[in-house]
Amino acid sequence: QNITYPQAILRIPMNGCTSILIPSWNNLPYLRFMIESIKKNSVYDHQIIVHVQEGVDGTLEWLQQEGIEYTYTPQNVGICSGFNMAATKATKEWNCLSDDDMYYFPNWDKALHDFYVENDMPELSWISGCLVESRPSSFPSFIIRNYGHSIEDFQEEAAVRDLESFKHTFHWIHNGSMPLLVKKKFFDAVGGYDTDFDPSPGSEEGFCMRLYQLGCRNFVSVKDCLAYHFGSLT
């Protein structure tokens, strides 16, 4: 699909606030742990939207109790549809896509904001963080540090204390990491994630290509934006 979008070349200031989109499938302990880290370690006031798949584990009740916005399907429709459904409630200029099993390190959102502003990034850009995992990964941008395989044995204080010691020394050109920041209007312009990939995990390649066709030439993982990824459930 050929789409013209002249505004894509503009440089527009970013206020830091995003709509964080989170598909979740019966994974309440990790989802709760992640949202708590967002609230504790963010600089900006974000809109959080969860797409609940099934939700037979109490996810719906917890979100309602906490006043967190959500969309819902009684079955697992997949990550791609989950992102797209959550995006229908997004009200911020930027969408921030996230798995539901991560711990966000302090100032993760400021790092994304500062990178965008300080590097005079085009409005149409793909800006993501860097993931820290306890197990070996095929992604070269992932940082391998074992601070626990689950939230039950996660060594939060040690991980935060050691943060500066394991950061990359440079930013990566990369398209396979989260949190992923994309302007809402561009997410909408390409139709969001490609639901042909559902229900299997991930569709970064299709989403990435359609943003490229739209004119995006910046696919960056920001070294100072870090999240610990447990890889708990898909």
What pLDDT is attached to residue 136? Answer: 86
DSSP line for 86-130: HHTT--SSEEEE--SSEEEPTTHHHHHHHHHHHTT--SS-EEEEE
pTM over the 0.85 mark: yes
d(CA 122, CA 180): 16
Helix and strand element counts for the chain (H, E): 8, 10
pLDDT in tens, the chain (234 residues): 444 444 444 455 567 799 999 999 999 999 999 999 999 999 999 999 999 999 999 999 999 999 999 999 999 998 999 999 999 999 999 999 999 999 999 999 999 999 999 999 999 999 999 999 998 877 778 999 999 999 999 999 999 999 999 999 989 887 778 999 999 999 999 999 988 877 766 667 789 999 999 999 999 999 999 999 998 765
Rounded to 5 degrees, φ, ψ at 109 are -75, -35
What pLDDT is attached to residue 12? Answer: 52
What pLDDT is attached to residue 22? Answer: 97
Rounded to 5 degrees, φ, ψ at 76 are -80, 105
What pLDDT is attached to residue 3? Answer: 42
Dihedral sign of CA atoms 179, 24, 205, 193 in order: negative
Name the DSSP class of 50: E
| Contact between residue 96 and residue 179 where contact means Cβ atoms under 8 Å apart | yes
What pLDDT is attached to residue 13? Answer: 58
